[in-house]
Amino acid sequence: RRPRGGTPPSRPSMPVVGLLATRACAIGAAASIARRGALRAARAPVIHHRHRAGCLSTRAEVDQTLNPRVAALRPSKTMALTDKAREMKESGLPVIGLAAGEPDFDTPAEIVRAGCDAIMNGHTRYSPNTGTAALRKAVCAKLKEENGLEYSPSEIVLSNGAKQSVAQGVIATCGPGDEVIVPAPYWVSYPEMCRLAGAEPVVVTTTADEGFLLTADKLRATLNDKSRLLILCSPSNPSGAVYTKEALEAIADVVRSHPRLLVLADEIYEHIIYEPAKHFSFAALPGMRERTLTVNGFSKAFAMTGWRLGYLAAPQHFATATAKIQGQTTSGPSSISQEAAMAALSLGKFGGAPVATMKKAFQKRRDYVCQRLAKIEGVKLASPQGAFYVFPDVSGLVGDGCVAEGFGPIADADALCEYLLEKAQVALVPGSAFGNPECLRISYAASDETLREALDRIEKALAAEVYVRG
Beta-carbon contacts of 203 under 8 Å, excluding residues fewer than 6 positions away, are 182, 183, 184, 186, 191, 435
pLDDT tier for residue 453 given thresholds of 50, 70 and 90: very high
Measured over the CA atoms of residue 460, residue 465, residue 467 and residue 470, the dihedral's sign is: positive
Q: Where are the beta strands (DSSP E) in 344-437?
A: 389-390, 403-404, 408-409, 426-427, 429-430
Please check whether residue 431 is in contact with residue 441, taking contact to mean a CB–CB distance below 8 angstroms. yes
Burial-class residue 395 by CB neighbours within 10 Å (0-12, 13-18, 19+). middle
pLDDT tier for residue 34 given thresholds of 50, 70 and 90: very low
How much of the chain is helix, strand and coil, in % rounded to 5?
A: 45, 15, 40
Residue type for position 72: A
Higher pLDDT, 258 or 16: 258
User: Out of 53-62, 208-217, 250-259, 445-454, which region has the weakest mean confidence (pLDDT)?
Assistant: 53-62
Beta-carbon contacts of 220 under 8 Å, excluding residues fewer than 6 positions away, are 254
pLDDT one-digit tens code per residue, 190-239: 999 999 999 999 999 999 999 999 999 999 999 999 999 999 999 999 99
* CA-based end-to-end distance of the chain: 92
Please check whether residue 169 is in contact with residue 315, taking contact to mean a CB–CB distance below 8 angstroms. no
What pTM value is reported for the model?
0.86
pLDDT at 43 (0 to 100): 45
Residue type for position 223: L
Query: Is 394 strand, coil or helix?
Result: coil
Please check whether residue 273 is in contact with residue 386, taking contact to mean a CB–CB distance below 8 angstroms. yes
> In whole numbers, what is the pLDDT of the chain averaged over residues?
90
DSSP 422: I
